[in-house]
A and B are shown apart, each in its own frame.
Chain A
Amino acid sequence: MTLIDTTAATRRRRRRASSSVMAVLRFIVTAATTFLGLLAVTFFIGRVVPIDPALAIVGDRAPAHVVERVREQLGLNLPLYEQFWIYLKQAVTGDFGTSVLTTNPVMADIARVFPATIELATIGTIIGALIGVPLGVLAAVKRGSIADQIVRVIGLIGYSVPIFWLGLLALVLFYARLNWVAYPGRIDIVYEYTFTPITGFYLLDAVWQGQWDVAWDLFRHIILPGALLGYFSLAYISRMTRSFMLNELAQEYVVAARAKGLSETRIIWFHALRNAAVPLVTVIALSYAGLLEGSVLTETIFSWPGLGLYITNSLQNADMNAVLGGTIAIGVVFVSINLFSDLLYRTLDPRTRNR
């Protein structure tokens, strides 16, 4: 008897272990193929789509032997799969070539500008979540009311407005007319040479060093682009929050809590929102990833020296190495956040574990 029991138990345990091993394996395969796909697509864009990448570098007036030499240097005379293999090896070591515009390695450029983008996207997500979640809860609780309609319209406009246009108008109003915020850029020219950032996240650095005047100046620079990005994530976050909350408020445990005599505030904010929080974390992570992308156009408007401005500047100067390097950088972070939020969802919500 006991023998059979133990074997059954071991088998069960083994099966459970193997299923979690399978899950980890599946995750690794997903992550690996996605990153490989990202590199394959950028390889395709950089090497296959342009008619002749060598000509793109030396210009079409260059003598034939120069073109030929550049082709060899780029490895364009090799078969495509070998080119891809070399490309992969270089990409894994962080080698994306040299930027024609800045003459630095693309990777060094990206490391320099990325903190600015992260800082902006973080501020945007914080603003979006702090306003978006309460708005969504309000809309769900007062479903069909005027408040619900207003939240809906705010969200719809957020989905429909061109971000660069709204940024321009906001600059005219808040900088040129009202002078509430600082001019485009990240830091005032006065502080540019006196302030020495440590991490590249200027706001944190300034606060850490106790330079409050610098911090205030930084704040005056970041608040408008941050609020703009915040509005976009707010549109998405409030809509999803409303949907999750409607779902939770229709559940029976809400009726039970009401029957127990709990206050409506407590039911909404502690019971229902807590259950809606798990998918909400995913939504906020996804909107963070979306803001990294949204920053491309916003940074152009606000002369924000981040990755988006780097990509668009390189675009204007036909600097393909820099464009592709920037695309890969945003892509890798974007994909990582996607994968991470998926993982987070599975660990946070016990209901998804046994599926």
Chain B
Amino acid sequence: MSVVETPKPYSREWLLSDRPASRRQAKLGRAYVVWSRFAENRLALLGLVIILALLVVAALADVLAPHNPVQGDLMNSRLLPPGSAGYLLGTDDQGRDILSRLIHGSRLTLFVVVLVAVIAAPIGLIVGTVSGYAGGWVDAVLMRITDIFLAFPKLVLALALVAALGPGIENAILAIAVTSWPPYARIARAETLTFRHSEFIAAVRLMGASPFRIVLRHIMPLCLSSLIVRVTLDMAGIILTAAGLGFLGLGAQPPLPEWGAMIASGRRFILDQWWVAAMPGFAILIVSLGFNLLGDGLRDALDPKEAGQ
């Protein structure tokens, strides 16, 4: 929520003014209200911190990682316990530093969630807004398809799809995206229905806007906030599904430091060298917890009606 420098005083009073003098003041004021509601929630702030930290770690992975994530020292540093000199979280069976692998793995995690969101959210948005705005048989057909996909068990469908496509991180992303767009379509449709008959849409139509333009420029932007909340809440599920696929050997392939695959490779040593499998799991837990907290906080801040539910 960065505040743009303006000549006007942007004090609390100015932000909370009931009669904003400009569009910018109104926008900033609304952002300020949302932010202050969000900031009241300590758990939500914690979630934000976790996700920002994830972004920083992923961006600076090359600088932060103390060792090479792919190549280890088989001679001297095989299966060292956490706290060994130079290896804070220990090493795995190939002598690779687990911390460095986790740091580089954060890139893969981000890659997966961002790509799934970028593929699935627009599909859902388009299907939902078109369905809601067009109504009639278009709506009936699109929503039936959405419901069919919604009724599927997601993980099992993704498993079968990756089995057919062949293992790999791109195919895992595709499979998760195919299974995760339907809720977005439902949300976008519900939002569209609430203002489909409102006067500003009628006004735009009278000005001669095509249905295409109305949906793209006037309806889609209004659906965005609830969609963002839902996508954020889904991020944790996406991470868990991706980790599950990785664990079954269907996601990122070795030697890529994908967290789920790391747990799978540590499974053989779980009884004696528990840290090899335990550490990546903690990373997954923390990051998905971060997304859940952030999503909860965003929902409460953007939609106070739902708060506490």
Residues of A at under 8 Å CB distance from B?
30, 33-34, 37-38, 41-42, 45-46, 49-50, 143, 156-157, 159-166, 168-169, 171-172, 176, 243, 246-247, 289, 292-294, 296-297, 300, 311-312, 315-316, 318, 320, 323-324, 326-327, 330-331, 334-335, 338
| Nearest CB in chain A: distance from B4 CB, A | 35
Q: Is the CB of A157 within 8 A of B244?
A: no
Q: Is the CB of A165 within 8 A of B147?
A: no
Most buried by A among B144, B248, B284: B248
Q: Is the CB of A320 within 8 A of B164?
A: yes
Q: Which of B71-79, B80-88, B269-277 contacts A (4 or more CB under 8 A)?
A: B269-277
Partner of A323, one of B160, B240, B278: B160
B247 partner residues in chain A, CB cutoff 8 A? 162, 164, 297
A289 partner residues in chain B, CB cutoff 8 A? 153
Q: Is the CB of B249 within 8 A of A162?
A: no
The answer to whether residues A315 and B248 also contact, given A168-B270, A330-B156 and a CB cut-off of 8 A, is yes
A38 partner residues in chain B, CB cutoff 8 A? 148, 151-152
Chain B residue nearest to A324 in the complex (CB) = B160
| Nearest CB in chain B: distance from A330 CB, A | 5
> Given known contacts A169-B281, A311-B156, A315-B250, what 18 new A-B pairs fall within 8 Å (CB)?
A30-B147, A37-B148, A156-B289, A159-B236, A159-B237, A160-B236, A160-B292, A161-B284, A161-B288, A164-B244, A164-B263, A169-B274, A176-B271, A243-B309, A312-B159, A323-B159, A323-B160, A323-B163
Q: Is the CB of A34 within 8 A of B147?
A: yes
Q: Is the interface of A mostly helix, strand, loop or mixed?
A: helix
Provide a sorted-by-A list of 20 A–B residue pairs whose CB atoms are within 8 angstroms: A34-B151, A37-B151, A45-B160, A49-B165, A156-B292, A160-B236, A160-B289, A160-B291, A160-B292, A161-B284, A161-B285, A169-B278, A176-B271, A246-B308, A312-B248, A323-B163, A324-B160, A327-B159, A330-B156, A334-B153
The answer to whether residues A331 and B152 also contact, given A42-B160, A164-B247, A168-B270 and a CB cut-off of 8 A, is yes
Assembled-state Cα–Cα distance A338/B154 (Å): 14
Chain A residue nearest to B240 in the complex (CB) = A162
Assembled-state Cα–Cα distance A37/B309 (Å): 34
| Nearest CB in chain A: distance from B150 CB, A | 9
A164 partner residues in chain B, CB cutoff 8 A? 244, 247, 263
Tell me, yes or no, whether B243 is within 8 Å of chain A by CB: yes
